Structure formats: C-alpha cells, structure tokens
Amino acid sequence: MDVSRNVFSFINVLPDAVLIIDRKRGKLIGANTVFFKLTGLADNAFLGTRVLDLPFSSKKIKRGLFRLFINLSRDAGYNKTYLFAHVCPDGTIKNVSASAHMFVIDGQECVVFNFKLIQPEVAPFNFVDSWNYYLALAYEPYLEFRVTTPVYIIDNQEDRLEFLRMLGETLRVKFSNNAAVKLYGDNGGTLEGKTFLSLFNKEEDAIGFLDILSVVGHIKAETNVNTNKAMAVRVEMDCEVKFDKDDNITALCCSQRDLSGHERYKATIEGYKFEMDLMLNQPFVGFAFLYPPSPLERPPVEDLDATLDDMLNQITVARANETMIDIYDSDKSKFLKKPMLELFDDADVARQVLKELFVMRETSLGKFKASEGEDDFELVLILRATFNKADQLSGVLVIASKHSYGYRPRHAPSNVEE
C-alpha cells in the first residue's frame, strides 16, 4: 500500500512531524517533510522497511517506538507518549516526544506517529549575570582580590621582598563564591577583606606565587592553604592578575581545587588494587571479570532468547586468575576474551542465569559430582552483575569453586527453570 497523493498532500502541510505505518504489515509507508527536517534522516530512504528498522540513533529508541506501535495495535484507546533524545546525522541532539494514533487511510488501518520537538524554556541572561551566577554556584572555590592601596612595582632585589609582602597584604577579597566560603569557613558568611597572604599556610609560598604573578601574570600550582580544618589543606591554585597601563597589579582572580579528596581517593584505589591483586592471586577460588563492549539495557520481552544469546556473546572475559583458568582447563590466551556463553555447558542454562542477573543481580549455579548418592558439587559458580547509574549492565563477576563447602546454589542441571 502507498499513501495516495491527496493524503500525502494533507500530511505534508501539517506543522508536526508525521510518520505512517501499515498496521497489518508493520511497514513504513509515508512521512512528511517536517519529519525529515526534524530527524535529519534522508528522504524516503527507509520507506517500505519494518518499524524496528527505523534509522534512529539507538536500539532503545527503536524499541520504545515499537512498543507504542504494538500497544496501540492491541488497544485503539492507548495514548501514551514516548520521550527520547535523538542524535541527528550532523551530531546535534534533539529532545523529541512521540505519540501514536490509529487511523483508516485509503481503506487500510494505519498507525500514525506524531513527533514534536521539546523546546527547553530557559530564561535569558545577559553575560554579566550569567558569569556571576556561574561563579556563585561553581563547585570549585573562587576568590577575587582588589588592591586596597596602590603598591607600585619594584624591580630591584633588595626591596622586592618587602614589595611582595605589601602586595600580599593590600590584595583583599572583594568577591567569594559559596564554595570558597565553605572551604575557608568564615562564620559571618563572607570572606570580604581577607588578605591574599592569609590564605597560605606558609608566607614564603604566598611570596613565591606573587613573585611569579607580578612578572608573568598567571600561575597554576599546588600549595597548602589555611582553612577551617585543623590541618592545612592541599589545593591546586590557579591565579591570574590584572595590570594597569603602568604594569602595576590592580586585581587578582584565584580559583582553588581541593586535592585532599583526590589524595584520599588515590589511597583508597591503591588499597583496592592491593586487595584485588591478593584476591586474584590466591589459589583456592577462581575469579573472572567479564564486561560487554558497552553497557547493556534490560532485554525486551520480544525475541528474548535471541537478545540474550547476543548478549552472552558480547559479554567476554577481561581478567581472570590462574585458579579460574585451571578450573576451565584452558590457557590464559584462550580464556581471556572468551564469551560468557562458553562458561556454561548448556545455552538454556546460560540464558536463565543472565535473565536472573538483570532482575536479581546475583545468582548461582552448581554441577553435581558424577558419583551417585553424593549430594555435593564438583563445580559451583556464583555470579554477580554490576549496573551503572542508568541501570544498564556494565559487568559480571564470576566466582568459581571445585567444592561447595555445604553451599546450596540456586540452580543445578536437574532443577534449572525452563
């Protein structure tokens, strides 16, 4: 079926983007000019293809539109809206809402998608307001200093130290953002009037900064500063000065990045790496870390087994200890990059395990010993999935042991759910 000339002329003058799908065959049969302009897709390049072949930027968008199509086909009163971010071929990102409606066109039942661009409502700022707003809410501490009394530059080395001290005292805070107030802990809620010298834990550090600033006008370096904390805090300080026509300093802008958290993070990571190395090198339990090439969405109900099979081949071993490699009677070069599917004797078991990981995030599997009457396992696997903030599966930890030690795994070959 093709859209008649009269119908096409009508939809082509509509203000919103429109896409028409033959309900019975699920094929795309028409779209208006606004649709191609909104999406940036090539005119009619995909007409005649299936709904799931829509050339949008991700499988998630295609599945969302497909659900709209299916739900509306089952219930003519269905009127939900699907919101998504579309990446155009030119790289621009557009927020779009899609709704679907049932119509009879030229005697055939059709699903008509209606797409609208979601325009964010942002109040206009002038440049000064925008900049001050940014500085006030900036995560990093920010301070602006002004010279309260003129200090004229001195080049001779005999008097330069005194000049730098005077400069450090006369440069006083004129503006400070919330992050700076929090870092330096002024109880009155303002740092106005605080001298540049008073920031530093050691005067010689402040003098060193001012010595460079008075010559080149900019410095970015680490130093210790005095805050409301008991001990000095390590920061990365980024300063820039403003000179007058005679090269005298009139103002100084200074941002600081607190490195104390960074140092704690480094210490934590080092400890974590030590624990990981200890775990991976111990000889009693097998460990393997598996990752997909990119985080995986929860599989849809449609074509579930095929989707799970695809995921089981995408998720591969990235790291494993020698015990795990021995358990699978392999060598390291062959075991690394091994698909998750190959860790199981049965594809149905593998699908069930991955399905449970998406729901429960942890499951376990046991393989009984060959000897009859012995309620023990020759292999036990415990699997744990990790998810990112978008609730996408980002990795799987597999723990393996040749002894169950009384542990009862969730599944064994005789009780795996079909």
Residue 128's pLDDT is what? 47
CA 296 vs. chain centroid, Å, equals 13
Query: 113 near 18, Cβ under 8 Å?
Result: yes
Helix (H), strand (E) at residue 98 = strand 93-105
Query: Residue for token digits 């499951």?
Result: 363
How far apart CA 414 and CA 418 sit, in angstroms, is 11
Query: 237 near 223, Cβ under 8 Å?
Result: yes
Nearest to 207 by CA among 163, 237, 250: 163
Query: 49 near 62, Cβ under 8 Å?
Result: no
DSSP string computed for 8-20:
HHHHTT-SSEEEE
Average pLDDT over residues 73-83: 75
Lowest mean pLDDT segment, chosen from 215-219, 332-336, 406-410: 406-410
Residue 121's pLDDT is what? 44
How far apart CA 316 and CA 342 sit, in angstroms, is 9
pLDDT(297) > 70: yes
Query: SS3 helix, strand, coil % of the chain, rounded to 5?
Result: 35, 30, 35
Summarize pLDDT for 362-389 with one digit per residue, the tens. 898 888 776 644 567 788 899 999 998 8
Would you tell me which CATH number, out of the four given (3.30.450.20, 3.30.70.1110, 3.40.190.10, 3.30.420.480), belongs to the domain 5-117?
3.30.450.20
**Percent of the residues in the chain that have a pLDDT greater than 70, as a whole number:** 78
What pTM, to 2 d.p., does this model score? Answer: 0.37
CA 356 vs. chain centroid, Å, equals 24
The sheet that has 286-291: what strands, in order across it?
Answer: 316-320, 286-291, 393-401, 377-387, 362-368
Assigned CATH class of 282-401? alpha beta
Per the DSSP assignment, residues forming a β-bridge with 320 are 288
How far apart CA 73 and CA 110 sit, in angstroms, is 9
Q: Which residue has the higher pLDDT, 165 or 417?
A: 165
Residue type, 124: P
Average pLDDT along the chain: 79
Per the DSSP assignment, residues forming a β-bridge with 317 are 290
pLDDT(308) > 90: yes
Nearest to 364 by CA among 382, 342, 378, 386: 382
CATH 3.30.450.20 occupies which residues in the chain?
Answer: 5-117, 129-261, 282-401
Fold of domain 129-261? Beta-Lactamase (3.30.450)
* Phi, psi torsion values for 41, nearest 5 degrees: -80, 155
362: tokens are: 């942890």
